[in-house]
Amino acid sequence: MTPIPDVRLRACNSEPVRNGDFVLYWMIAARRLGWSFALERAADEARRLKKPLVILEPLRCGYRWASDRIHRFVLEGMADHAARLAGSNVTYLPYVEPAPGVGKGLLEALARHACLVVTDDFPAFFLPRMVAAAGEQLQVRLEAVDSNGLLPLRAADKDFVTAAHFRRFLQKVLPEHLERAPAEDPLTAPLPKRLRALPEEILRRLVPDYVEISIYRALLESTASEHGARMTAMRNASENANDIIDDLTLQMNRERQAEITQEIMEVVAGAESLI
């Protein structure tokens, strides 16, 4: 398989690749299982080192501009990823931070057992600062891989002050970067056997959070079920009330029509008696 282009690969620290238990892919930007240079790099290294592949997809809750809309999008993606990777040789760890700061140190704890950590290279938001801080803390090699677009982030060695200058540069250099596209499914080729178990320190950390989230989810589902039952009852009551109103309206119209008919007949009869 063709290696990842060097222009898309960046070392975030000077630590070496170690003889750990697995290769860790820290999914933070390219939250997808296809067309991702970062995931492809992690899978390739797992095969080369003959180590299991572990994917950590975390979701922080205490950052600026955090919103239910963004988080729902990420959570739905996590559910799809969990379903897609179930039964595969990939260990998938979706982690949703239950409170701001609770997830601090999780990456470092996993990295202590990893041969290599691969993550996404994204130029905006708080991600560059977060990746730089992780590079200083981790005692294992951290690589950031650019999966952002057709043109690599570091393809240009200068800033462009006008769109026209950038377009000329793009038209000149883009064709060479189109020769190497990311794999549609980088997990198709066989991977080393699945990790038997996570390190004990990780389990001690994740299990309480998992239990807490499971209980919270059960409470939410119970509340949602109660609201659903109430809505169904109210809808049925409204439909029944509308049916009763329709029946009573019909009955009233019939009785009113009968009264009008009777009055007409009496008027006609009275008029005939005067002739």
* Percentage of the residues of the chain whose pLDDT score is greater than 70: 97
Q: Average pLDDT, stretch 182-202?
A: 93
Q: Give the model's pLDDT for residue 7.
A: 96
More confident residue, 275 or 55: 55
Q: Spell out the alpha helix ranges (H) of 145-199.
A: 163-178
Bridging pattern class, strands 142-145 and 9-11: antiparallel
The whole-number pLDDT of residue 272 equals 65
pLDDT of residue 208 exceeding 90: no
- Dist CA 147 CA 138 (whole Å): 22
pLDDT (mean) for 20-29: 97
- Is residue 223 left, alpha or beta, with left meaning phi > 0 and alpha meaning psi from -120 to 50? alpha
Lowest mean pLDDT among 40-49, 164-173, 244-253, 257-266: 257-266
Give the tens place of pLDDT for each residue, 59-106: 998 888 899 899 999 999 999 999 999 999 999 999 988 888 888 999
Residue 6 has pLDDT above 90, yes or no: yes
202: pLDDT strictly greater than 90 = no
pLDDT top residue among 137 and 209: 137
Question: Which whole number is the average pLDDT over 195-211?
Answer: 83
pLDDT at 200 over 90: no
Q: Which long-range contacts (CB under 8 A, 24 or more apart) does 208-216 make?
A: 209/95, 209/98, 209/102, 212/98, 213/96, 213/98, 216/98
User: Which of 36-40, 59-63, 206-210, 238-242 shows the highest mean pLDDT?
Assistant: 36-40
What pLDDT sits at residue 274? 63
Nearest in space to 116 (alpha carbons), one of 99, 135, 102: 135
Q: Give the chain's mean pLDDT.
A: 92
Pick 42 or 224 by higher pLDDT: 42
Give mean pLDDT, residues 191-201.
91
Q: Are 139 and 117 in contact (CB under 8 A)?
A: no
Q: pLDDT value at position 63? A: 87
Residue 209 reports pLDDT greater than 80: no
pLDDT of residue 1: 63
The model's pLDDT over 139-182, given as tens digits with 9 standing for 90+, comes to 999 999 999 999 999 999 899 999 999 999 999 999 999 999 99
Q: Letter for the amino acid at 260?
A: I
Question: Quick one: pLDDT at residue 99?
Answer: 85
C-alpha torsion angle, residues 231, 233, 234, 236 (rounded to 10): 120
Distance CA 230, CA 3 (A): 58
At 273, the pLDDT band (50, 70, 90 cuts) reads low
> What are 26's two structure tokens?
């820290």
72-82, pLDDT tens digit by residue? Answer: 999 999 999 99
